[in-house]
Amino acid sequence: MRVAPGLTRPLVVRTTRVADPGDLLTRLPVTAPYAWIRHGEGLVAWGEAARVEVPPGPGRFARARERLAAVFAGAHVDDEVRAPGSGPVAFGSFTFDAGSPGSVLVVPRTVLARRGGRAWLTTIGESGLEEAAPLRSPGAIRYADGSLTASQWEQAVAQAVRRIRSGLLEKVVLARDLTAVAERPIDTRLLLSRLAARFPECYTFSCDGLVGATPELLVRRTGQTVESLVLAGTTPRGDHPADDVARGAALFASAKDRHEHACAVDSVRRALTPLCAELDVPADPELLVLPNVQHLASPVTGRLADGLSVLDVVAAMHPTAAVGGTPTRTALQVIGELEGMDRAGYAGPVGWVDARGDGEWGIALRCARIEGSRARLFAGGGIMADSDPAAELAETRAKFRAMRYALES
């Protein structure tokens, strides 16, 4: 746990109402921006008041909550808004693998937010709004294979299919990465603005170098209400409207995709049932249509037991079958054997939490890790007994398009 130099303990936090700031992303300065935006609403932030490096291993979410509580403890908070996301807030990113380092919670010095017709500014210490510099193009982009070539990844999918058909497991999610190198340093704000404009239905996020636009809401906690959006089963968009409709209908009727989706919904149900006094799980999925793909989607809602933070729910839910597989322990073993890479923050929880325990966390999908002029892009898909390696490769290519669009447009 580290508090930024120049700040006193306890932290002095002030949240005030402000006039509508317009496009939140245009207010971000160049250095290390944080963001969580959907349909123009959410939070953007910058600066670092405190940082919690979460050690890997079992119980990491509980340790993260305890250490963050120590940061917030005794803070002098003047909050005239008193809404989810007001007062002190931490942005966070957790690695997919509990044994991998890199999970972090950061309390920004400045947060600018808009939600439900209200806007507010939270500052810690002598921070405040900064002048935003013009967005910077990264120039030409060169791509290269990541940990596995396309052919090697298809072979990994084929191996996974054989293990599923042998009865070892029902489903496993296999991911792959792609490396991008730009002419100039990559401006995270440019990626955020492009992603938010192109994918308004998604949650556009930035946290500690991990940037993306995820369609999957892992959990939202507002008071005692908890919500989750389960996505599993995917098809690319069509080349024309009739093709698009036909692809959506085929996805909805696909026994393979419906079974994959049912596995994901069941994993969320099992995770939330012990935490909730009430839980509503739809009997059938709906179709979520995004600019690059279509998904089977199921919104789940519940009433949370007293005293639980959104981080407690994240701990119970990760990893879902949508990003791991079924059964979970076996799927994680197969992922470790076949993927040939460390996912880092990809497919891990990403989002924010406030001092009341409210917050929104997604699964870090359609994302990239940015380091200077380099980016590492990620995509994956659910492998079932009748999965075709070539089709699964095509699905990952469709999912890569989100970040490639952000880098290249």
Catalytic residue among 41, 66, 126, 171: 171
Mean pLDDT on 268-289: 94
Residue-wise DSSP of 222-266: ETTEEEEEEEEEEEEPPSSHHHHHHHHHHHHH-HHHHHHHHHHHH
Under the banding of pLDDT at 50, 70 and 90, the label for residue 322 is confident
Query: CA torsion, points 151, 155, 157, 161, in degrees to nearest 10?
Result: 150
pLDDT reported for residue 33: 94
Query: Is pLDDT at 228 greater than 90 in this prediction?
Result: yes
pLDDT reported for residue 336: 97
- Which amino acid belongs to residue 257? D
Query: Is pLDDT at 126 greater than 90 in this prediction?
Result: no
Q: What is the pLDDT of residues 349-360, one digit of tens each?
A: 999 999 999 999
Under the banding of pLDDT at 50, 70 and 90, the label for residue 310 is very high
Q: What is the pLDDT of residues 363-374, one digit of tens each?
A: 999 999 999 999
- Measured CA to CA in angstroms, residue 73 lies from 12, 88, 310, 355 at distances of 11, 11, 18, 9
- Catalytic residue flag (residue 395): no
Mean pLDDT on 225-250: 92
For residue 71, tell me if it sits in a domain: yes
Contacts of 329 (CB under 8 A, 6+ apart): none
For residue 136, tell me if it sits in a domain: no
- The two structure tokens encoding residue 395: 């699905």
Query: Is pLDDT at 135 greater than 70 in this prediction?
Result: yes
Strands (E), 305-403: 325-326, 349-354, 359-363, 367-371, 374-383
Q: Which domain holds residue 71?
A: 2-130+141-408
Mean pLDDT on 153-173: 97
Query: Is pLDDT at 48 greater than 70 in this prediction?
Result: yes
Instruction: Determine which of 179-183, 283-287, 288-292 has the lowest per-residue pLDDT on average.
Output: 288-292
- To 10 degrees, what angle do helices 255-272 and 241-253 make? 60
- According to the per-residue pLDDT averaged within each range, which of 18-27, 131-140, 290-299 is highest? 18-27
Taking the C-alpha atoms of residue 398 and residue 366, their distance in angstroms, rounded to an integer, is 10
The H or E element spanning position 35 is strand 34-38
Query: Is pLDDT at 8 greater than 70 in this prediction?
Result: no
Residue-wise DSSP of 297-323: EEEEEEEEPTT--HHHHHHHHPSPTTT
Where residue 43 sits, what CATH number does that domain have? 3.60.120.10
Is residue 30 exposed (0-12), middle (13-18) or buried (19+ Cβ within 10 Å)? middle
Mean pLDDT on 215-228: 95
Q: What is the pLDDT of residues 247-257, one digit of tens each?
A: 999 999 999 89
Q: Give the predicted TM-score (pTM) of the model.
A: 0.93
Catalytic residue among 216, 360, 392, 395: 216
Mean pLDDT on 140-153: 97
Contacts of 332 (CB under 8 A, 6+ apart): 97, 319, 324, 325
Q: Do 93 and 53 touch, CB atoms closer than 8 A?
A: no
Mean pLDDT on 310-321: 95
- Catalytic residue flag (residue 256): no
Query: Is pLDDT at 59 greater than 90 in this prediction?
Result: yes
Query: Is pLDDT at 125 greater than 90 in this prediction?
Result: no
Taking the C-alpha atoms of residue 295 and residue 248, their distance in angstroms, rounded to an integer, is 8
For residue 135, tell me if it sits in a domain: no
Query: Is pLDDT at 4 greater than 90 in this prediction?
Result: no
Q: How many domains does the chain fold into? A: 1
For residue 367, tell me if it sits in a domain: yes
Tokens 């994680």 identify what position?
A: 332
Residues of the chain with pLDDT > 70, as a percent, come to 98
Q: What is the pLDDT of residues 375-389, one digit of tens each?
A: 999 999 999 999 999
Query: Minimal CA–CA distance to 358: which of 219, 228, 229, 230?
Result: 219
Residues recorded for the chain: 409
pLDDT reported for residue 10: 86
Under the banding of pLDDT at 50, 70 and 90, the label for residue 213 is very high
